[in-house]
Structure formats: C-alpha cells, structure tokens
Chain A
Amino acid sequence: MAHADTHALHAADHHDDHKPHGIGRWLFATNHKDIGTMYMVFALIMFFIGGAMAMVIRLELFKPGMQFVDPGFYNSLVTSHALVMIFGAVMPAFVGLANWMIPLQIGAPDMALPRMNNYSFWILPFAFTLLLSSFFTAGGGPAGGWTLYPPLSLQAGDSFPLTIFAIHMMGASSIMGAINVIVTIMNMRAPGMTLLKLPLFCWTWLITAYLLIAVMPVLAGAVTMLLTDHYFGTSFFNPAGGGDPVMFQHIFWFFGHPEVYILILPAFGIVSEIIPTFSRKPLFGYDAMVYATASIAFLSFIVWAHHMFTVGMPLAGQMFFMMSTMLIAVPTGVKVFNWTTTMWKGSLSFEPPMLFALAFLFLFTIGGFSGLMLAIAPADYQYQDTYFVVAHFHYVLVPGAVFAIMAGVYYWLPKWTGHMYSMTLAKWHFWVSTISVNVLFFPQHFLGLAGMPRRIPDYNVQFTDWNMVSSIGGFVFGLSQLLFVAVIIQSARGGPKATAKVWDAEPLGLEWTVPSPAPYHSFSDAPEVH
C-alpha cells in the first residue's frame, strides 16, 4: 500500500516529462503539443505545395503568350492553389497554434477532447492526398475555381468526387477542432479566469470556432448538392430541371464570408498578444476588442452577397449588401485604432514577432481599404473578378493572415523548443518577405483597374509590365520562405536556452509562467488568476 503510494507519487513527479516514443507518439498522439506540432508542420508543407503552384502561375504570367502550361492545367493550378492555401495552410496553422497555446494560456493541462483532437488532425493528410491525387485522374485536377460554381464545376472529370470528398473531410476536421476549442475554453479555464480576462488569442479563437460550427455544414450541404446533381440526377443548380445556379452562390458565400473571418480573426488575436508585449503596455481597450470581434463575426453572416453583385440581384438586395458590408469597416477600424493606441506612449522594441505584427498592421489595413472600395456596389461592377480583387484578398490573406501566423510562430517558438533562434536570420526573413510581398501584390491593383480579369492564363501586351514586376516579387517572396524554415529547424535543433519569459519584456499570460520548453503536460495544477 505504502509502496504503491510512493510509486504513484514518483510517477506523478515525472509525469510532466514522460513522452511516448517512436512513431506511435505521433500516430496515436493525444497530447495537445504533439498535435499542435503536427498541425504546424502539415500547414508548412501545404504552404510550400500551394506556393509551388503559385510559382508556376506567376511563371506563366511573366509575359504574354502561352509558354509553359495548358490553359486547362492553369485553371487546375488556380483552383488547387486556393484550396490548399485556405484549407491546408492557413486554417491548420491556426488550429496548430490553438492546440499549442490555448491550454497554456488558460492554465489547463491539455485540450478537453484529446482523442478527437487526434482524429481532427489525422483526417487532413488523407483529405489532401485525395485532393492532390485528383491531378492524376482523367481530365486533370479540379479546374472550376475554389468557389466551385456550377454548372462549370459539374463539367469536371474524375477529379470531381475526389474534390468533394476532400472538402467533406476538411470540414469534418474543422468542426472537430472547433468543438475542442469551445469545450476547452468554456470548461478548463484556471480558477479566477473569467471570460473578460481571457487572452485575446483565446477570445478570437472561441468566436472563430463558433463561426466554423455554423458554416462548415453549409459548405458540406452545398458540395453534397453538387455531388447529387452530378451523379444522382437531382437539379438543385440545373436550370433545365428547374434549379438555380445562383442559389449555389448564395449558399456558398453564406459559408464563404464567415470563412473569410475564420481566416483572419485568430490573426487579430495573435497581433493583440504581440503588440502589447513589445510596447510594454497592456492592450488598449480590451473590452472594445472583444466586442469588435463579436460584431465582425455577427456581421459576417449578413454580407455574403457582396461577392456576387453582378449576378443580377434586385436593387434593394444590392443596397442592403452594400450598406451591411460598409458597416464592417466600423468594428475593424476600432481594432486598428486600438492596436495603434496600444503603441502610443509605449516603449517599443522590434524583435521579429513585433516586426511581423507591425507589417500586419500596415498591410492588413491596405487590404481593408481596398475592401471598403469593393463594398461600393457601383464601383464593384468594375472591380468584380479582376486582379483588383486578387490584390485585395491576397493583401488580407498573405501580409494579413500568413504574416500573423509567422508573427505567432516567432513569438512562441522559443516557448515550444526551449531555444532562442537567430534574430538576424528572422529579420532577414522579415525584410525580404515584406518588401517582396508588396512588389508581388501591389501592382495587381493596377492590373485589375486597367482591365485584367482574374483567372486568365494569358493577357494583352499592355498588362506585361506590371505582371513582370508582380512575378519577380512572387519568386523572391517564394524563395524567402526558405529562411523561415531555416529559422524553425535551427530553433528545434538547439541554440541559446530560452528563459520562461523568453522576451526582454513583461509578456502577460500564463504561458510565460511555465519554463521553456513548456512541460509536456502544461498545468497539472491549475494556477490561480487574479
């Protein structure tokens, strides 16, 4: 009896460091850090696969004339680039960060549902194997655009069912991840951590998780209707059978617009963590930030048809969607003003996470400006489906969401690995990426305004100059991401020991109270929050 007790105590002492060994540690992983790591590595691999597709696109667009790829294959690249980047890179990267950081930030030992956590990750490699293998089927990969508009998407060959099932799997994975986030945050917060003391990264993720649960089934429904239209003779979207192809667009964008915020709200959370740390000052207007995030999430459900002003909606409908879309600028503005005021009268230093957060602040705002212009329905008639739109959403997704992810990785990497990384190398990554991303995407505003439609593999000679500039920016941006990988590998392998606080600042949050690297099981005893 006594012996057993000692043994149990002994085991408990070493419990924090006990890790399963071999491939089983990853295949049967239930530890939030292991699963978080797998998500992040997966997202990085997908970022390079999607990036390689973008490189081929920019290569073909380098000059007028068709030099490298067939137009049909070009459409497959455009379609898969979007699906891979959205569902394979950005979303899994956010889920990976959530896995790593939410238990650490709320003082919990792990995620609430570890087994489901394992499923939600392991679905993804299969989903993307299915999606990417469709390139080798008769007719090639999916080529109807990531928006899958019928009737065009129904003309696909054997890639069609593979794409649909891959999307179903991605959706199931997202929903499981979202349930896990909600249950964890709602039930496993440390004593004393009320909802309005929750770190903003957790807040934005909580709201994102509700968005995911609300809209992923809508996407699943839409693609299932495509599937039955294609194989089982239904006519949801087939006008010859009494269906309506525009109805698909309404359903798709009812998913698609909240999806846009799914891709950016966690980024807001990351930036809201980093700017106060390196301004050495608490976030300005915490409550307003939470309410602004919630308002953006609510508004995201009533603006969807601004993606489809040209489909021939009634005047009243266009008016409504124009006005509601413009309204989103208000809470988004509140956020930008709060971040700016956080820096006001601060004591700023510019470590790599802060540099990326600042680039986010400027460049996301530029994406916000073009978004405001796109909201103006009469002007949108000129912008719709041109490179102006391509520039807009790449500004909010690349120097927006992707830079925020990189900022988060640079912020928390020493906490994960226990090692500081080379600040010089990370700053090189920052400067080359930030300059090249603007060279890549800014000229696309000009191309769109001057009349270049999106999703075309070739163009009139008047568009040559800006396309060349954009392509050069693209190649540099693509290559510079190898620096990111180099920093991560270096930090994982070794380097100067990181302290618990990591940064020469007083970062707020429970994650900075545990040693670096964070123990395998985060908080066996719940900390008190005052």
Chain B
Amino acid sequence: MLNRKVATVMTSLAAAAPTLAYESTYNLPVGATDVSARVYGLHMMMFWVCIAIAIVVFGVMIYSIVKFRRSKGAVADQTLLHSTKVEIVWTLIPVLILIATAIPAARTLIVMEDTRNSELSIKVTGYQWKWHYEYIGKGVNFYSSLAADSNEARQLKSGIDPHGVKDYLLNVDNPVVVPVNTKIRVLLTGNDVIHSWWVPDFAVKKDAIPGFINEAWFKSNKVGRFTGQCTELCGRDHGFMPIVVEVRSKEDFAKWLADKQAAAKAATSGEVAPTATAMTTPAAATTAAL
C-alpha cells in the first residue's frame, strides 16, 4: 500500500522533472542557456543595486520621519537651503553606478545579437492564434496550437477545473523539437498582426512582425521541455497561443527529424500517409539524412 503510494509519487515526480520551465513563482529563471544565465545575473545585479540605493535613501527618509517630528519638539533648520557640493556628489555617484552597470549590460547585449555560426535555422511565423515552425532546408514544417484539453477548459464557463488539465495553457499539439548544445537561429515573422515569441528559459523574446524578418538565437545546455507564450497583444486569443520547445539529445533529435521528414515526404508524394508508413520508414530516412 505504502509502496504503491511511494511509486505514484515517484512517477509523478519523474513526470514533472522534465518541465524545467518556471521553476520560480516570484523570480526570473536562471534558464537553460549561457545567455539566460547572464541575463539572470544582470537582473540580480540590478536588483541588488536597487536594494542598496533603497537602503540608503529610504533609510534617510525613515530617519527623518522618526527623528524630525514636530510632535517631538523638532525645530526646523531654516538655513539648510542648498549646497552645491552635495548636489554635485549626488549627481556624480549615480552616474558612476550607471556606468558600472551599463558595461556588463552592453557586453551581454552584444552576445545576444550575434546570430552568426548557427547550426540550425527555424523560421517561426505568428498566426492568429497559433505558431508555424519551418526547419529551413530540412523539409519539415508544422503548425503548433494550444493543446485540445487546455482549449476545451479555457472556454468561457467551461466548468472544467484548470488544475486538472496538464500544463494548462502551456501545452501544444506539436512542440518544436531542437537538439541540445546546438546554436539554433530563430527567424521570426508574422502572418497577420504582430506577435512576440518568448521562451523565458532561453531569454529569447523577439517580435514576429508581418513583412519583416527578425532574428534571435539560443543554445540550450539542458535537455527538457521549455514553455513560453506570445507576448505581444495579437487579438482575441492572444492568451492562448503558447510555445513549447523540447530540447532533446542530438541522437533523439536526428531521429525525430527523420520521422518528420519521412512523414512529409509521404504526404507530398500523394499518399494518404498512414501511420504504418510513418512508422516503418524512419530507419531508412535517418541514414539518408545523416
């Protein structure tokens, strides 16, 4: 009895483990890439700079409020009108703090913008209200929409408890699959209105704008399932077009790609791609692809 309970807990833990996204409910994730870790570092650096300034400034304010009360007999010092020396000091100190923080920020920005030497390019197109992914030069492309169970539960007054739905609003029918430790370039555009493709664990957020192509990149150090959402208001169902990226080992990715390529080939050759075809061809396709 107890054993079975432990087993259930273990299985649910195992099921939960790959979902690395959103480890915190109150802070940014450190994420799965070097860039996301750097951004997290910048974020925490700025946070502590603000805390330090707050301690000094709020400290003086609170001290004044407590110490210089008229009800405690405080008499105002009417001579304290201005001081050029003090004004110069409290103009220069913030300037120095800002320069000190701007340098690491600028360095990180340069790294984020460097999309050269990517090993795989994926074109992402925002639609109202789903994403389309195209693996450039690989002959694989598909739409990715909100998972059916989430979609059913999110209808007005559906009566379905979102707590019972797997990864409510953060689950899709076809996730994007990418290999681990590989520099992936993402090319973004919009089909109808502006969308924005955000995966917090990669620190990637770029607008998908009709008529234009934007670039971003990530290189995940971890295998796992990473989720995100559209972050540019794009109409009625803006809240219902999530992003799911599955980072797999290079071998698993190659196998997945081969499966997809075979299915695509089967579909274009006019066959009504039965499951059997898709199931049997991967081996041949894998060798062909590699």
Complex alpha-carbon distance, A239 and B232, angstroms: 18
| CB-defined contacts of A145 to chain B, threshold 8 Å | 233
Complex alpha-carbon distance, A241 and B64, angstroms: 61
Binds B, one of A375-383, A420-428, A490-498: A375-383
Partner of B231, one of A286, A288, A385: A385
A345 close to chain B: CB less than 8 A:
yes
Binds A, one of B3-11, B234-242, B260-268: B234-242
Partner of B78, one of A65, A282, A349, A446: A282
Q: Which of B101-115 contact A (CB under 8 A)?
A: 101-102, 105-106, 108-110, 112-113
Complex alpha-carbon distance, A287 and B83, angstroms: 11
For B, the interface residue count at a CB cutoff of 8 angstroms equals: 97
Complex alpha-carbon distance, A378 and B188, angstroms: 18
B65 touches A348 (CB 8 A): yes
| CB-defined contacts of A319 to chain B, threshold 8 Å | 106, 109
Q: Which 7 A-B pairs have the closest CB atoms?
A: A239-B211, A456-B239, A446-B26, A312-B214, A345-B77, A369-B50, A385-B231
Residues of B in contact with A (beta carbons under 8 Å apart): 21-22, 24-29, 38-39, 42-43, 46-47, 49-50, 53-54, 57-58, 60-61, 64-65, 68-71, 74-78, 80-83, 86-87, 90-91, 94-95, 98, 101-102, 105-106, 108-110, 112-113, 153-158, 160-163, 167-170, 192-194, 196, 198, 200, 203-207, 209-212, 214-215, 228-240
User: A285-B87, A288-B87, A369-B54 known; A460 and B169 CB under 8 Å?
Assistant: yes
Q: Which of A345-382 contact B (CB under 8 A)?
A: 345-349, 358, 361-362, 365-366, 369, 372-373, 376-379, 381-382
Closest to B98 in A: A326
| CB-defined contacts of B74 to chain A, threshold 8 Å | 345-348
Closest to A246 in B: B209
A37 close to chain B: CB less than 8 A:
no
| CB-defined contacts of B232 to chain A, threshold 8 Å | 149, 385
A227 close to chain B: CB less than 8 A:
no
| CB-defined contacts of A449 to chain B, threshold 8 Å | 24, 26-28
Closest to B163 in A: A461
| CB-defined contacts of B106 to chain A, threshold 8 Å | 319, 322
B49, B61, B110, B240 interface centre (most CB from chain A within 10 Å): B61
Closest to B129 in A: A71
B152 → chain A closest CB, angstroms: 11
Complex alpha-carbon distance, A192 and B71, angstroms: 36
A268 close to chain B: CB less than 8 A:
no
Complex alpha-carbon distance, A334 and B65, angstroms: 20
User: A66-B156, A71-B237, A326-B98 known; A348 and B196 CB under 8 Å?
Assistant: no
Residues of A in contact with B (beta carbons under 8 Å apart): 64-67, 69-72, 75, 143-145, 149, 151-152, 155, 239-240, 243-246, 279-282, 284-288, 310-312, 315, 318-319, 322-323, 326-327, 329-330, 333-334, 336-337, 340-341, 343-349, 358, 361-362, 365-366, 369, 372-373, 376-379, 381-382, 384-386, 446, 449-451, 453-463, 465-466
A126 → chain B closest CB, angstroms: 28
B162 touches A64 (CB 8 A): yes
A312 touches B205 (CB 8 A): no
A70 touches B196 (CB 8 A): no
A450 touches B80 (CB 8 A): no
Complex alpha-carbon distance, A340 and B80, angstroms: 12
Complex alpha-carbon distance, A423 and B235, angstroms: 47
A275 → chain B closest CB, angstroms: 10
Complex alpha-carbon distance, A386 and B232, angstroms: 9
| CB-defined contacts of B233 to chain A, threshold 8 Å | 75, 144-145, 149, 152, 385, 455
| CB-defined contacts of B231 to chain A, threshold 8 Å | 384-386, 453-454
A-B contacts counted at CB < 8 A amount to 282
User: A286-B82, A362-B58 known; A333 and B169 CB under 8 Å?
Assistant: no
Interface CB pairs A-B, < 8 A, 16: A71-B237, A71-B240, A149-B194, A152-B194, A285-B81, A285-B87, A322-B102, A327-B98, A337-B57, A344-B68, A347-B70, A382-B205, A384-B205, A385-B233, A450-B24, A454-B231
User: A312-B214, A451-B228 known; A376 and B77 CB under 8 Å?
Assistant: no
Complex alpha-carbon distance, A446 and B200, angstroms: 14
Q: A246-B212, A281-B77, A362-B61 are in contact. List 16 more A-B contacts (CB 8 A).
A: A243-B211, A244-B212, A284-B80, A285-B83, A312-B214, A318-B113, A346-B76, A347-B76, A348-B70, A349-B71, A362-B58, A381-B39, A449-B27, A453-B230, A455-B239, A460-B170
Partner of B236, one of A72, A329, A334, A453: A72
Complex alpha-carbon distance, A490 and B185, angstroms: 64
| CB-defined contacts of A372 to chain B, threshold 8 Å | 46, 49-50
User: A149-B194, A384-B231 known; A312 and B212 CB under 8 Å?
Assistant: yes
A280 touches B76 (CB 8 A): yes
B209 touches A322 (CB 8 A): no
Complex alpha-carbon distance, A530 and B192, angstroms: 64
B77 touches A348 (CB 8 A): no
B203 touches A310 (CB 8 A): no
B205 → chain A closest CB, angstroms: 5
| CB-defined contacts of B81 to chain A, threshold 8 Å | 282, 284-286
B105 touches A312 (CB 8 A): no
User: A310-B206, A381-B203, A384-B205 known; A456 and B238 CB under 8 Å?
Assistant: yes
| CB-defined contacts of A66 to chain B, threshold 8 Å | 154-158
A64, A281, A326, A381 interface centre (most CB from chain B within 10 Å): A381
| CB-defined contacts of A463 to chain B, threshold 8 Å | 25
Complex alpha-carbon distance, A288 and B240, angstroms: 50
| CB-defined contacts of B109 to chain A, threshold 8 Å | 315, 318-319, 322, 377-378
Partner of A462, one of B22, B69, B155, B192: B22
Partner of B50, one of A75, A245, A373: A373
B169 touches A322 (CB 8 A): no
| CB-defined contacts of B236 to chain A, threshold 8 Å | 71-72, 75, 143
| CB-defined contacts of A365 to chain B, threshold 8 Å | 54, 57-58
Complex alpha-carbon distance, A69 and B204, angstroms: 31
Closest to A336 in B: B57
User: A66-B154, A323-B102, A453-B229 known; A151 and B39 CB under 8 Å?
Assistant: no
A490 → chain B closest CB, angstroms: 26
Complex alpha-carbon distance, A366 and B57, angstroms: 11
A358 touches B105 (CB 8 A): no
Closest to A453 in B: B231
A246 → chain B closest CB, angstroms: 6
| CB-defined contacts of A287 to chain B, threshold 8 Å | 82
